[in-house]
Amino acid sequence: MSFSFMLGAGLPALFLYYALWRGIYNFFFHPLRGVPGPVWGALSDFFKLWILHTKKAHLLGLKYHERYGPVVRAAPNLIAVNDPRLLPIIYHRHADKTDVYTPAVLGDVAPPFQTQGWAEHARKRKRVASSFALSNLVKLEGQVDERVIEWCTILGTRFADTGKRMDFAAWSQWFAYDTISQLSFGEPIGFVREGRDKGDLIKNFHDMAPFAAVVGALPWLCAPILQNPLTKWLFMPRPGDSSGTGKIMAFRDALLHDRLNDPQAHHKGDFLDNILAAKNEDGTLITVEEVKTECFVLMVAASDTTAAVFCGFVRYVLQSEGVYNNLISEIDGFERKGLLSSPIATFDEIKKLPYFSACYRETLRYQPSTPMIIPRYVGKDGLNLYGNYLPPGTEIGANPYVVHRNKEVFGEDADIFRPERWLEDPEKEKEMDKYILTWGYGTRICLGKNIALLETYKLLLQFFRLFRPSIDDNDRVWRQENLALLVHWDFWIHIARRSLAR
């Protein structure tokens, strides 16, 4: 019997024996063996792949908590909770992120949101935080206005004036990508202008999402492979390759090259200028590779999440009884009083519309853009939870979609879209706001939050100010998939022009 034959037969057998031993350990001897949850989740991390395959992790989360209770063992070493009041305990200042955030698809250099250690995260965040401050973003409001006006003008001529239906999901994605490109580099990619996914850039990027999800689900298996120089060269995206990620990298690198070779480089006032000027604690500038990573994260992470807010807001405002009429009544009332600038309202003006803001906050609660478990490590002292002891190193987290439907915090009607809940009781409003997980939590709240607020507030207000939308088919509104980000397709609507109230 040849050595190669024995090796070929022995390796699968060895793997099978290991998998069997690991399953037995996880189910009968693991420190979390007493925590209830699905059997396959207790046996193996590979159960996560089935969850990802369904593209409905948020709905399965609700189902499992309904069946097993407030604490669910979602994987051998992963605990999911549905009680919002546990968020300050889980996401405290010194909580480290888990290896789910291992750098992979986004590049070798970890941006702040992928940085696992809390101390290193604080250092990295401090360097660029001022770029994301609302006071700095307001300086870029005019650039957002340009993109909003372009978008609304094209929608008016292509759809409102012709009666043709439009895919709101596609057009909201194109706006989001163009706007974040404008804010990052000073110019849009051109999706809205051309009315298409240029070069299938977004499609190809979405095609990479399952790969990124597998890396996040099985980091202990994928990270060593992807960090190998050969496999990294074979599988990881590179600037200019055929993947959507590679194309975005190439677009970023070209604009960065132009800026670095411009003798008056720092003159546009966009994010690239700010990030190029970011400094370490010792006063040195951050590296070019770190600049590339920050810009890339802005483009890919801030676009789909923003588009999901657009889609959720429009759908649930139109489908929830009385909400559209209340919203339009408020917009028209502010219009008559001269409280909304023309041709486009300012961000400060829009923030003063209470019902619009309530609809926005309810959208973030009801349909968060990242409906996935956001894990942290249990600290050195362990954690006692509902009679279960979780030892140090246990992964624990919550899914925003799940915790936002907690009836004790958000009301008995937490499973329906009702903006009025944010306007009824100031104390209850504060409590609900404290436990919103859409942007992350505590010191790890998303750096791009203010960017998203600026562009979504302005586009949504202008859209409802100018147009009367109607959904084509209320029984089949859209196609929605949970790719760790909520992504939408085929959200078909008609729009008609509205006259501004006078």
**Residues annotated in the binding site for heme, as ranges?**
446
Helix (H) or strand (E) holding 1: none
Binding site listing: 446
Angstrom CA distances, 380 to 90, 95, 122, stand at: 13, 10, 20
Alpha-carbon distance of 219 to 212, in angstroms, equals: 10
Give me the sign of the Cα torsion angle 264, 268, 269, 273.
Answer: negative
CA nearest 461: which of 336, 327, 363?
327
Neighbours of 105 (CB within 10 A): 20
Write out the two tokens for 456: 């979504």
Q: 62-65: long-range contacts at Cβ-Cβ below 8 A with a sequence spacing of 24 or more?
A: 62/401, 62/402, 62/405, 64/37, 64/38, 65/402
Angstrom CA distances, 250 to 58, 245, 254, 255, 280, stand at: 34, 9, 6, 9, 26
How far is C-alpha 86 from the chain's CA centre? 21
Q: DSSP string of 242-257?
A: SSHHHHHHHHHHHHHH
Contact 131, 278 (CB under 8 A): yes
